[in-house]
Amino acid sequence: MSTIQDVARQAAVSVSTVSNVLNGRTDRMRPETLLRVEAAIAELQFRPNSLARQLKTGQTPLLGLLVPSIANPMYGMIARAVETFAQEQYGYRVIVGNTYREKDKEAAFLEDLLAHGVRRVVVISSLADEHHLTQAVERGMVVVSFDRRATPGEASGIDHVTPDNFEAGRLATRHLIAYGHTRLAFATVAGLTVGRSDKIRGFLAAAAEAGLQQHARVLEGGPMNEYGDAAIGEVGRELAKSAAGDPHRPTGVVAVNDMMALGFMAGLREAGLRVPHDMSVVGMDGLFLAEIANPALTTLQLPVTEMARAMVERAMSRQSHLEPAAEEQVFPFTRLIERESVGPPPVSETKVPITR
């Protein structure tokens, strides 16, 4: 690979002149000089070494992206949008890391990014403890976190971009209640993340509104080791099989996300139960997969592209971690898409009287 020196020699100018054209300071030279330099660059197929430039400037056009698992279709969607936007709008490339929601892996990833000179990262984690994140902030990292609310009154220096999980849990549950369901369940996986807790709170709030708090249960499957993977679908499947055997089983279930819902429906089917005839299921995320499922899954649509854009913009806009206060940006789920997985509860079931 040719260097800036080679170009300078070839064009018979000094390296600083070449550097100037590289950095757009073309006004500092005679047009003919510029032409000579450009010709030399083309001829030598010269590409400035990003490493050397970074060492000097301290900035590298790389964005970190930490996800539980890139194999999870939801994170794949987000990753695609983040990468494309970062690249097209800012010329940044992205380094991804699967962390399986393990704190150590997250910390190690952040550590490596720092060593690589990466100063901006989008984190999808929502581990309750974000100490390792604030630590990265202190070391100069601009971090944007997905799927967890900012801790009120705490200036962590972290930007938060998150879905309105509480509202989502409430909306999905209300939808079931509107269809007449009185035995409700929320299907989730072991390990409480901030986002999951919020959804559960919303679920419980909607049940309480309808006087159904006695009949609202949280079903927790797992745990699993490769979180975020196909594993969550698998957990849903197992959960459904055990729920199906319960004579007092719920008639309407809200799944923590679409993959869980899809797995849950598969488990129900294996147990001989039909959706929505025997049980109704609503998901969250709005994956394309929900659309082609059988029955097609009723779900809440999350504005993935918009959120990805917001995360990248926040990560890029701040010149350093020292800048203005970090902010929280909450995105409502766009809407509830009614499809086939929700119907009235089976008539044979004993109805629970509604209190009010």
Partner DNA sequence: CTGAAAGCGCTAACAG
Partner DNA sequence: CTGTTAGCGCTTTCAG
Question: Sign of dihedral through CA atoms 352, 353, 355, 356?
Answer: positive
Q: Residue 57, interface with DNA (CB under 7 A)?
A: yes
Alpha carbon distance 173, 328 (integer Å): 26
- CA distance readout (Å), 45 to 4, 8, 18, 188: 11, 13, 14, 54
Q: Residue 35, interface with DNA (CB under 7 A)?
A: no
**Closer residue to a second copy, CB minimum distance, 141 or 158:** 141
DSSP 3-state helix, strand, coil percentages of the chain (rounded to 5)? 45, 15, 40
Query: Which H, E and C letters describe 9-27, residue by residue?
Result: HHHCCCHHHHHHHHCCCHH
Looking at 9, 44, 48, 211, which residue binds DNA (CB under 7 A)? 48
Cβ 182 to a second copy shortest distance, Å: 27
- CA distance readout (Å), 147 to 13, 127, 328: 53, 10, 11
Please give the residue ranges that form the binding site for a second copy (CB under 8 A).
Answer: 1, 47-52, 54-55, 60, 62, 69-73, 75-77, 79-81, 83-84, 87, 93-98, 109, 111-117, 139-140, 229-230, 233-234, 237, 262-263, 265-266, 269, 287-289, 291-296
Tell me which of a second copy, DNA, none is bound by residue 33, counting a contact when its beta carbon lies within the kind-specific cut-off of 5 to 8 angstroms: DNA
Please, which of residues 10-29 interact with DNA by CB under 7 A?
12-17, 19-20, 22-23, 27-29
Cβ 128 to a second copy shortest distance, Å: 24
Looking at 39, 44, 49, 197, which residue binds DNA (CB under 7 A)? 49
Tell me which of DNA, a second copy, none is bound by residue 57, counting a contact when its beta carbon lies within the kind-specific cut-off of 5 to 8 angstroms: DNA
Cβ 23 to DNA shortest distance, Å: 5
Tell me which of DNA, a second copy, none is bound by residue 293, counting a contact when its beta carbon lies within the kind-specific cut-off of 5 to 8 angstroms: a second copy
* Closest of 157, 155, 166 to residue 139, by C-alpha: 157
**Closer residue to a second copy, CB minimum distance, 83 or 220:** 83
φ/ψ of residue 23, rounded to 5:
-105, 20
Alpha carbon distance 334, 155 (integer Å): 29
**Closer residue to a second copy, CB minimum distance, 79 or 311:** 79
Structure tokens at 125: 């984690």
Q: Residue 139, interface with DNA (CB under 7 A)?
A: no
Cβ contact 61:287 at 8 Å = no
The Cβ of residue 154 has, within 10 Å, a number of other Cβ atoms equal to: 10
Cβ 330 to DNA shortest distance, Å: 37
The identity of residue 82, as a single letter, is V
**Closer residue to DNA, CB minimum distance, 4 or 275:** 4
The identity of residue 155, as a single letter, is A
The residues pairing with 220 across neighbouring beta strands, listed in sequence order, are: 188
**Closer residue to a second copy, CB minimum distance, 67 or 184:** 67
Interface residue list for DNA (CB under 7 A) = 1, 3-5, 12-17, 19-20, 22-23, 27-30, 33, 46, 48-49, 52-53, 55-58
